[in-house]
Structure 1
Amino acid sequence: MSGMTMMWISFYSIGFMLVASGLIYLSRQKIKNRIISSIVALIAYIFLIIGFLTMVFVVMSF
């Protein structure tokens, strides 16, 4: 893969992690309904795992 492609993948990874941190904040601080909070937290952890795996891919490919 080219360097530009890897750069964009790393930007997406950072974006996934930012979205995950925002969703975790929402689920813990702002959402009072326990069911909706759990669903939002689950989505956030999925984004966090995807961000982590794509960042590992970027680091290991160089």
Structure 2
Amino acid sequence: MDPMTKMWMSLIGIGLMAIAAVIITFARIKTKGVIKGILSTVAFIMLCIGFLLGLLSII
């Protein structure tokens, strides 16, 4: 894999993790019930994808 592809994968992974942190913070402070669960699940999925992209950019 060329270095530019690794760079973009890493940046996208970092971006997804940052967005996930914002979403989970918003969900815990401003929402309740089902919406809180949905936002938390979406944030968790984004966090996992960001982690995998970061891991792949290292390999």
Which interval holds the TM-score relative to the shorter structure? over 0.9
5+ long unaligned stretches in structure 1: none
- Structure 2 distance, partners of 1:28, 1:51, is 21
- Structure 2: runs of 5+ lacking an equivalent: none
1:23 maps to which residue? 23
TM-score by length of 2: 0.93
Aligned length: 59
Determine which structure has greater relative contact order: mean sequence separation of CA pairs < 8 Å that are 6+ residues apart, divided by chain length: 2
1:56 aligned onto 2:55:
yes
SS of equivalent residue, structure 1 residue 48: helix
Indicate the residue corresponding to 2:9 in structure 1.
9
Cα distance in 2 between the residues matched to 1:52 and 1:27: 21
1:46 alignment partner in structure 2: 45
Identity of aligned residues (%): 37
Q: TM-score, normalised by structure 1?
A: 0.89
